[in-house]
Chains A and B, each alone.
Chain A
């Protein structure tokens, strides 16, 4: 076989592989059902309520002053870039792993102070055991560790937690996980386009 034909064949094969839509399934949540509460105190069933949309999901707790605000900021940048690129059918979800603290009122304050665009972004909290079960399924670790006590006696726990943003396809399957605080924005936007 002539050399140039082999070269052309290999090039085409590499192009085909690099353009492949096949992001592997990391975890299938499509058969799961978690009843959670939005920032507006509306009960939703996750992941069903977002099915049919590609979902960018972050894991946070609002007492965190460093890593979680970075994750939130990154989600906002992804949201803005997706909007600019004309990507539709996209939902953003931020799940709190500290439901004792993060009531719907606290989540509403967290959104308000950052002036976040709620048009396709839902913050979720809920029953502690339901959240624990969901975190186990998606392999996100969150455990209270150090704490601070204010002079008035309020105790604030700080979590050791997985630094995570997940990308979920239209059928409720996690297709890729990223570092929430230091995610490559272009990479996830490109992956969203593959799934959309």
Chain B
């Protein structure tokens, strides 16, 4: 009987904790920006801290809510002299590189992550310091969805994607 009671309490606590995790995830994903036609949603844009004259990157997720593919082909921001879409790539087991890409395609009803170790919005030659806590505006240009203005929060990003 005691064992049954213990098991019940344990299971209750376990699922309570899981529920809390879910709530946290939902709250995090509330930081969103949407295109005027509602077809594209930008989720949680964040920027790495960097000093004036140096480079930085914006990471975010792009959700395509429509039934046709769309593509991000340009980004504008007053924070840097030049803004490009870049991709980090692995050369072999332990070598990494980075290159400019013309666009990122987002297939219908799917999400593309611009994340550490993968695609990112490259900010070249910052006009001012981007310190932790600061907010930076950028305009994302999509082939179908048009312009989406976002605000990225400057944060330390600690993890690399496993892609």
Contact = CB atoms under 8 A, between A and B. Distances in A.
Interface of A: 62-67, 69-70, 73-74, 77, 106, 109-110, 112-115, 141, 145-146, 148-152, 154, 156, 158-164, 179, 181-182
B129 A113 contact: yes
B54 A62 contact: yes
Given A65-B57, A148-B82, A152-B81, A160 B96 contact: yes
Nearest to A66: B88
13 contacts: A65-B98, A65-B122, A73-B156, A74-B158, A110-B51, A112-B51, A114-B156, A148-B100, A150-B82, A152-B81, A159-B97, A163-B94, A182-B160
A95 B156 CA distance: 21
A113 B86 CA distance: 23
Contacts of A63: 54-55
Interface in B83-130: 84, 86, 88, 91, 94-100, 116-117, 120, 122-125, 129-130
B131 interface: yes
A154 B54 CA distance: 12
A160 B95 contact: yes
B64 interface: no
B50 interface: yes
Contacts of A114: 49, 156
